[in-house]
Structure 1
Amino acid sequence: MSLTQLKTSFDKEILIVERLVYIDKNRHRNSTSYKRLNQIYKCVKKVNIEHIFTNNQDYETRILQFLKKMDNLLISLFINCMQNFGNEMFLQTHLVYASIASRLTRILKETMKIKKITVNTET
């Protein structure tokens, strides 16, 4: 994938997250799923994929921190899905959030690979 394609994909994912945050905010502000989505949204708003290609060490560190948060969030989301397997509504919502988080993570990792920044998100 080219940088332009990655940027477009990232922007589309951000739009999806923004829409879901708005929809869920009006429905159930105190629910666990909204809090998870809001957590993704706050992390994503700190990341601008275009800054990866500047030689800004602080920005690279911020992206690596974002990737670690997303990996931890994905693990947490999948654990919650397995624990609440019988609750279909909960399961669907969390799987949507997990897919968004995994796509954002993949896009950023591919972008960092283009710039040849080593990505090690193991905790």
Structure 2
Amino acid sequence: MSSAPSDHDDSLKSATITVRVIKSFPYRTCKNLVVRGLDLTTLTVGEFKARAVNDAKTLPGWKPYQNVEFDSMKLYTKAHGTKTQNLIINLDRPDWMFEDDSKTLAEVGCGHETEVSFFNRAAYEEYLADPVNKWD
């Protein structure tokens, strides 16, 4: 008996990921970068970070984000999953941080229509220590 590829396998090989590129945590300044046609089974976290940095530096409308040193990613929410109370990053799940740049996006839990946050790690740690919003 042969098994046909499942829809799940297909969605991992041509996925859409929304990247919440965060400039400022206290001011909740972020812009969404929608990336389509990704093969999550082969694309590594490091390669995806490099692509997101390149897009933020070269695409029109991203000039205010070019002075931020983006170096970290964290899962924000999966498709059809519950969302966090925080509008730009999931503070509740430290285990959702993408710590290993050599792992594939599928290995770190990404699927089709996943949302991830992309940010500067030092700014994130500072915000975690005192999560005060300055703009409401």
Same fold, TM exceeding 0.5?
A: no
Higher relative contact order (CA 8 A, sep 6+): 2
TM-score, normalised by the number of residues in structure 1: 0.26
Greater share of residues in helix: 1
TM-score, normalised by the number of residues in structure 2: 0.24
